[in-house]
Amino acid sequence: MNKINQVFAQRGDKKLLSLYFCAGSPTLDSTANVILTMQRRGIDFIEVGIPFSDPLADGPVIQTAATKALKNGMNLRTLFSQLQSIKEQVQIPLILMGYLNPILHYGIEAFCQSCVEAGVSGMIIPDLPFKDYLEVVKPIADRYDLRVIMLITPETSEERIRFIDENTDGFIYMVSSAAITGAQKSFDEQKQEYFRRINQMQLRNPRMIGFGISNAQTLKAAQDNAAGAIIGSKFVTLLDEAGGDADIALDKLFAALEK
């Protein structure tokens, strides 16, 4: 069974926590240590960002991290090499998150093959058109038992959400707002209503809520309305401040999530 499906099948009542960081930032060689530290500290799965020069859905924090990673020399071949070096030690699911352009340059088939060789369980490609996913990416990903995670936003129609639910596996990434990534202090009534509306749809796939989670209030809102939460910008900021020391960054993150 794919590790992503395994986590959801075995979670019981546990609320899951996924963290995002950008590979190669703040230092080129910090990626493996960050992953192993997160695993040791109880994170349920990890989104590993593929740095790209034009990350449309990302706010300034993740854009800055991506720029730093590219300047450090991070690219897909280096990332796959780093992941392969720790493959036997990583038990939790790794999900690569990145834009379509670098993946197309690498080659869809080659990318999926490298994912399997490096112990990756799935991918999130925010700018992948759903038609291209169905016709081109899904058949290849399915052959390699990889999960392609699709995003929904408050503006996504019910018809499209149900179509995504029927044609994907693993989980659905619920973007908390139709905006770029970045920490928020709270989720307003409009966002809460969106969470309730999706809950009432009783989708087949579990859901994880991301974008804007940075404190106890936003974490609880996400956990109350989905299988768990995804945190990106807050952790990326703390990791950068800690010079890549994931233990220090996680200590500060867990403290922030209790406030």
**Positions marked catalytic:** 47, 58
Judge contact between 206 and 172, C-beta under 8 A: yes
Question: Which of 22, 11, 75 is closest to 44 using CA atoms?
Answer: 11
| 133 SS3 class | helix
CA pair distance 242, 238, nearest whole angstrom:
6
Ranges of beta strands (E only) in 66-225 are 94-97, 122-124, 147-149, 151-152, 172-175, 207-210
Q: What single letter denotes the amino acid at residue 147?
A: R
Q: Is the Cβ–Cβ distance between 227 and 198 less than 8 Å?
A: no
